[in-house]
Structure 1
Amino acid sequence: MTSGQDIDTLMGHLGDFGKYQAWQFTLHILSAITAGLNMLSLVTVAAVPEHRCEISEHDLNKTYTELNETILGVHIPRLQSGKFDSCSLINTTTNATYKCDSWVFDHTYYGTSRAIEWEFVCDQRWMGAVAQSAYMFGVFTGAVWLGNLADKVGRKPVFCWSAVLQLLLGVGVAFTPEYISFLVIRYLYGIFGSAGSYIPGFVLTMELVGPSKRSMCGVAFQAAFAVGIMLVAGWGAIIKDRQLLQIIYGCHALVLCGHFWLMDESPRWLWANGRTSEAVSIIKKALKTNKSPVTIAPEEYTGKAAKEKRTQNEKAGVLDLFKTPNLRKKTLNVMLCWFANSLVYYGLSLSTGSMKGNPYLVLFVMGLVELPSYVVTVYLMDRLGRRSLTSFEMIAGGICCIIAVNLAEGPVSTGFVFAGKFLIASSFAIVYNYSAELFPTVIRNSAMGLGAMCARTSGALTPLITLLDSFDPKMPAIIFAVIALVSGFLVTFLPETLEKPMPQTIEDGEKFGIGDTCFTSLCAKGAKDEDEDGKPTTDMEVKPLKSQNDAVY
């Protein structure tokens, strides 16, 4: 029996989702809630409320005054759309227009915000976009650096120490006195706030639960992320002071700090790195928690991992994803998939941000609308497979972008925006599971980190791309749609992972899915090749077993 088969056998004794897995999964998924909350915190903390140029004879002490259109028309020019220009005034003596340098803000929904204090409007609009981009580039850094680190030193240390730093930075950023230091701390906050715990937490779950529960648990992470978005809106509606609000956001990391004592390391990671006795010890604990009658003798497994495998694993890192042709093709394809999903997801979110009404309610609904898409995703993933569903939803989401931007503003256009958000939220959720199943254990966290890096790159670029609407209002949406369509088509060349065993080693990862594309199979369950005798065989010789005692991960 090989080392990889040993750990598969041991993990199979636990069943797919017993009491132990449920408890650990609960601990892991808390990181998704804080990740979503941290990611969108700037939407309220640095919100740009309704504003216009200050009219000195009406706005006393820079206080926003509600004025009728007649008075506004005397002092403020109109844009081609018919709306009042928030960046210009009319000289009532010469009737010439000029750029203003002082603004007043409507405080109906926001008491204070960074955008009000530092005036992220008009020619300084870029400052708000850069602030959000700084956080996203922090997530980019964390995804690469911490993802690779988690493959080398373990999932648990990276998860737990990131939680501590997330708490310190989340509270500390509330007290930054000026813009540059704010950007620096936001960057560091991004490293640990939405990457450091979230990605290892997701991988821990994928390496612990059985095949039949991977889809449900993976999508549940995305639903928890959406709950984090709803928390941003909920706290924002209650707390009007931006400093106290940010402190509240940062303190949510306290729920992760107890994981030092409550959460276990991944037995698969321990086994793959030669720490066999620790892996067996955790599995024995899990069997006891699950009240399993199975007993295992640690001495039978201690030292099973071969020395040469330990040497290989110590050297395994993100670069191994590009050294062999099949892994390289899969890696580049998945990187584009993450990039495209994130770009359209945030692009559609920004387009709905202009909706009229209570901004907290709008933000809350933006998180809420994702939940039914995840229910549908869980139902369909294990029936249609990952590949076909991801491809269809990305292509359909891109088409929704194109249709929405070419329709006049109204209910129909809004409907296509929400349809696009529904589809992309679903495909984005699948990508997490899909990526974890495509890549081998020894570099799985690195692969997830690389994917998240690409997603955060596009997330960072999204607010900057939206600035292109000053040239053509349709340009941002067309860019989002084209990238989604291209990536959706390329996904059809990835192998299906449904009901396939997850690869353990670099060699397994290179062999996995060779010759399996959407075009070599008539169904989404994964292609099967034929050997010389015409006997069908899967891409890997190991097949997932059905019973609790012989289940394979």
Structure 2
Amino acid sequence: MENNNNKQPNKNKDDKDGRKRVRSEKINNKKSLRTRDTGQQAGQSLEELRVKYNEKIDSNINLPSPDSRSGNVSRQGSVFVDLGQFLDFDDLLPLIGEFGWFQKLLFIFMIPFCFIAAFVYLGQIFMTLAPHNYYCFVPELALIDNETERMELSIPREKDGSYSHCSMYDANYTAIHFALNRSIYLNMSWPTIRCQAGYVFDPVEMPFRTATMEFGWVCDRDYFATLAQMLFFLGSILGGLGYGRLADLCGRITALVSSCFLALVGSLFTSLAPNFVAFAATRVLVGASYDTCFTMIYILVLEYVGPKYRTFVANMSLAIFYAPFTMLMPWLALSTYNWRTFSALCAIPISLSLLSFWLLPESARWLVSVGQIDNAVELLKRVARRNNKTVAPSVFDHFRFSCQQFYREELQGRHFGICSIFKKPRMARYMVLMILIWMAISLVYDGHVRAASVLDMHNVFVFFSIACATELPGNILVILTLDRFGRRWCAFVFTCLSGVFSLVAAGTKNSKHMLGAALAGRFFANICYNIVLQWAAEVLPTVVRAQGVSFIHTMGYVAMMMSPPVVYLSSVSTSLMLLILGILGLLGGFLALFLPETLYHDLPQTLSDGADFGREQRIWHGPCCGPGSKRVKRPQRLWHQGSSLRTISRDEFRSTKMHRVARTRVAPRKTQISSQDTVAAEKMIQTYTFEHGQK
């Protein structure tokens, strides 16, 4: 009995404990139901929470399900909630074709714009070429056939025995002209004065008559050509800022066509310029079109090309289209014999580019950003047809739905600017470094381009073509190395090599060796310019990428304004010019080591991503060997699949529309999901993300 009595209390105790456990389980179940919308259910994955939340919404409003046979959303109901993933541009491209006939035609359409970019950039160099051999023109002695006699009678000699370029004797040339024996007037002790009536240029050395020769921008006015080139880059700064805004407001094609029209007007009026003021004003107009007349078609093509083809398209367009036109440009100038004819004739292809307003498609991404979603969908359907791709209508419906519920809401809630980059210390450091690197490389690249016109004055056209020919192998080398060794080490090696060869050229006395080293410096300058052009867009987060890259390019134009004065130093010392280019190359190369590597890394999308990007990398990190050689996968974004405009940080968006979990498709005048359900879902995701982030 005692044992039974002893067991009875234990049994009662077990029963009580069992009832407590059952009661506790019921209470926990009720709590779990109440906390399901706040994400506090232990051990439950986020996907399970989203599915249960979807079931809850479906049971509350009795939503119809999608048609399983066609995959289309049923339109019998008023609302359909889809907690699945959005369909982004990069998700849609494989379905409509990443590099089909449509993209190949766009690639071919880049040809005329590559010519325009080459002419706008390099045309002014040939228009303002300064000849090497010239002397003062004396009208009274113009009828003397013997040039040597004319120079002996009017031009003094320098200390090295050569004839002076900028001085003439102060003598009575009328008396000399009518004298029977002119030899009596040969007197080297006569006083000298500056040239009074212009200059005589050697037609054998310079068969192309430049604006410098026509307006006499030599001797004490030799800085006029340099000033005109600086004003060209001033126009580039203004145009870059203005057209960037115009492209956002009116579209890529509008900005492209208007910039080409500005280049056309500027080139035609350049050919009519009567003096320096008019010439400089027209070059500001042409400079305002520079970069935009090519960058817009460049961006447009890359937007329609799949990610795995973008590096190839970006560099091959420069290699097979732009590089040949730069090599051809000096010979086009030489064939016209006069800078006015050269400027007018090269404007003809620019006029043909105006037809692109009717031939080229608008950017589908821009159409979505301004709310023209139906036009964007129709355009993408045309891309699919051109590429012989069959895409179900439901896919385009899904894409349209994604755009309506995400992209427009994101763009409406966006409040980002250049200042947003500098709010995060790490991003601010990256931005400052990219500005300094881009300014150094831009000055080095443009300096080497312009240096080709002064390094070999006797064969300027031949040497310029050879220097431009380095663009082709340089772009091919970028394609072969950039996706293997990474951006950081490639930028460091190639930029430093450009600086080293420039320094070697500066210290070489032999003219042939100097030209060879300078060509090597130009070759590596081409490579590092293309690398940083792509690298800057990858380091900056998506939400500030366009504005950040535009600002970096603008600072590059500021640096390019200093390249004409650097090349002008060649009149004092060619070694000094190359020395400055070499030091800047080494500086830019070493600064590149302090930027993060982007190869095999998911690119930052938000400001928070940008603030953390590269934190795990060390200065010796290399993607081709050692730690980081494999692709580092970050946690999958929980909000949607889209890869081009996604964001997850509440701190970066003031619009609460960006934090919805339930995606709704609403028919006119029908029931919608209540805002309480949306807020509940939002709190669920936030709480779950916070708790797991703490763990």
Q: In structure 2, which of residues 590, 595, 603 is the aligned counterpart of residue 494 of structure 1?
A: 595
Task: Show the counterpart of 2:167.
Answer: 88
Structure 1: distance between partners of 2:616 and 2:359: 41
Q: In structure 2, which of residues 139, 157, 179 is the aligned counterpart of residue 77 of structure 1?
A: 157
Task: Show the counterpart of 2:563.
Answer: 462
Q: Give the aligned residue type for 1:300.
A: H
Structure 1 residue 318, shift from structure 2 partner:
4.5
Structure 1: distance between partners of 2:139 and 2:339: 29
CA contact (8 A) 1:28 1:204 kept: no
Q: Give the aligned residue type for 1:453.
A: T
Structure 1: distance between partners of 2:120 and 2:626: 37
Task: Show the counterpart of 2:579.
Answer: 478
Structure 1 residue 421, shift from structure 2 partner:
0.7
Task: Show the counterpart of 1:204.
Answer: 300
Task: Show the counterpart of 1:277.
Answer: 374
Structure 1 residue 372, shift from structure 2 partner:
1.5
Task: Show the counterpart of 1:425.
Answer: 526
Output one character per residue of 1:252-300: Cα deviation in whole Å (capped at 9) or x when no partner: 2124212112222222333455543333322222111111233343332
Task: Show the counterpart of 1:301.
Answer: 399
Task: Show the counterpart of 1:408.
Answer: 509
CA contact (8 A) 2:596 2:614 kept: yes
Structure 1 residues 326, 256: CA separation in 2 closer, same or farther (over 3 Å shift)? farther
Output one character per residue of 1:229-265: Cα deviation in whole Å (capped at 9) or x when no partner: 2232121121113222101122221242121122222
Match status 1:107 vs 2:206: no
Matches within 5 A, 1:468-547: 468-469=569-570, 473-500=574-601, 506-507=606-607, 510-511=610-611, 513-515=613-615, 517=617, 519=619, 521-523=621-623, 528=628, 537-538=632-633, 541=636
CA contact (8 A) 2:155 2:163 kept: no
Q: Give the aligned residue type for 2:189.
A: T
Structure 1: distance between partners of 2:544 and 2:489: 25
Output one character per residue of 1:313-340: Cα deviation in whole Å (capped at 9) or x when no partner: 4x54555444443443333222222222
Structure 1 residue 423, shift from structure 2 partner:
0.4
Structure 1 residues 232, 125: CA separation in 2 closer, same or farther (over 3 Å shift)? same
CA contact (8 A) 1:206 1:436 kept: no
Q: In structure 2, which of residues 110, 122, 129 is the aligned counterpart of residue 47 of structure 1?
A: 129
Q: Matched residue pairs, number?
A: 537
Q: In structure 2, which of residues 431, 434, 440 is the aligned counterpart of residue 331 of structure 1?
A: 431
Question: What's the % identity of the aligned pairs?
Answer: 22
CA contact (8 A) 1:405 1:477 kept: yes
Structure 1 residue 57, shift from structure 2 partner:
8.8
Matches within 5 A, 1:208-247: 208-223=304-319, 224-247=321-344
Structure 1: distance between partners of 2:503 and 2:338: 39
Structure 1 residues 551, 160: CA separation in 2 closer, same or farther (over 3 Å shift)? same
Q: Give the aligned residue type for 2:313.
A: C
Output one character per residue of 1:78-129: Cα deviation in whole Å (capped at 9) or x when no partner: 366x765422346735255554343211223435321112111011011000
Q: Give the aligned residue type for 1:94.
A: S
Q: Give the aligned residue type for 2:531.
A: I
CA contact (8 A) 1:203 1:436 kept: no
Name which of structure 1's ranges 436-445 and 223-232 shifts more when overlaid on structure 2: 436-445
Task: Show the counterpart of 1:137.
Answer: 234
Structure 2: distance between partners of 1:77 and 1:476: 27
Task: Show the counterpart of 1:21.
Answer: 103
What RMSD over aligned residues (CA atoms) do the two structures have, in Å?
3.5
Structure 2: distance between partners of 1:72 and 1:399: 45
Structure 1 residues 57, 287: CA separation in 2 closer, same or farther (over 3 Å shift)? closer
Structure 1 residues 468, 440: CA separation in 2 closer, same or farther (over 3 Å shift)? same
Higher Rg:
2
CA contact (8 A) 1:495 1:526 kept: no
Structure 1 residues 428, 537: CA separation in 2 closer, same or farther (over 3 Å shift)? closer
CA contact (8 A) 2:217 2:223 kept: yes
CA contact (8 A) 2:441 2:529 kept: yes
Structure 2: distance between partners of 1:472 and 1:360: 21
Output one character per residue of 1:24-79: Cα deviation in whole Å (capped at 9) or x when no partner: 2322453232112111112222322233222649961699x7549x9669943336
Structure 2: distance between partners of 1:243 and 1:380: 43
Match status 1:164 vs 2:261: yes
CA contact (8 A) 2:602 2:633 kept: no
Q: TM-score, normalised by structure 1?
A: 0.86
Name which of structure 1's ranges 484-493 and 109-118 shifts more when overlaid on structure 2: 109-118
SS at match of 1:522: coil
Structure 2: distance between partners of 1:62 and 1:441: 71
SS at match of 2:222: helix
Q: In structure 2, which of residues 365, 372, 394 is the aligned counterpart of residue 268 of structure 1?
A: 365
Structure 1 residues 507, 526: CA separation in 2 closer, same or farther (over 3 Å shift)? farther
Structure 1: distance between partners of 2:322 and 2:375: 31
CA contact (8 A) 2:364 2:376 kept: yes
Structure 1: distance between partners of 2:248 and 2:144: 54
Structure 2: distance between partners of 1:512 and 1:73: 75
Question: For structure 1, which runs of at least 5 residues remain unmatched after alignment?
Answer: 530-534, 544-548
Task: Show the counterpart of 1:546.
Answer: none
CA contact (8 A) 2:368 2:408 kept: no
SS at match of 1:269: helix
Structure 1 residues 321, 173: CA separation in 2 closer, same or farther (over 3 Å shift)? farther
Q: TM-score, normalised by structure 2?
A: 0.69
Output one character per residue of 1:184-230: Cα deviation in whole Å (capped at 9) or x when no partner: 121011111x2222222222233222222222222234333333322
Q: In structure 2, which of residues 539, 543, 556 is the aligned counterpart of residue 438 of structure 1?
A: 539
Structure 2: distance between partners of 1:470 and 1:283: 56
Task: Show the counterpart of 1:350.
Answer: 450
Structure 1: distance between partners of 2:118 and 2:316: 13
Structure 1 residue 542, shift from structure 2 partner:
6.5
SS at match of 1:353: helix
Structure 1 residues 241, 167: CA separation in 2 closer, same or farther (over 3 Å shift)? same
CA contact (8 A) 1:47 1:113 kept: yes
Structure 2: distance between partners of 1:524 and 1:542: 27
Structure 1 residue 158, shift from structure 2 partner:
1.0
CA contact (8 A) 2:499 2:582 kept: yes
Structure 1 residues 31, 244: CA separation in 2 closer, same or farther (over 3 Å shift)? same
CA contact (8 A) 2:421 2:607 kept: no
Output one character per residue of 1:150-176: Cα deviation in whole Å (capped at 9) or x when no partner: 244432221122122222222222112
Structure 1 residues 73, 515: CA separation in 2 closer, same or farther (over 3 Å shift)? farther
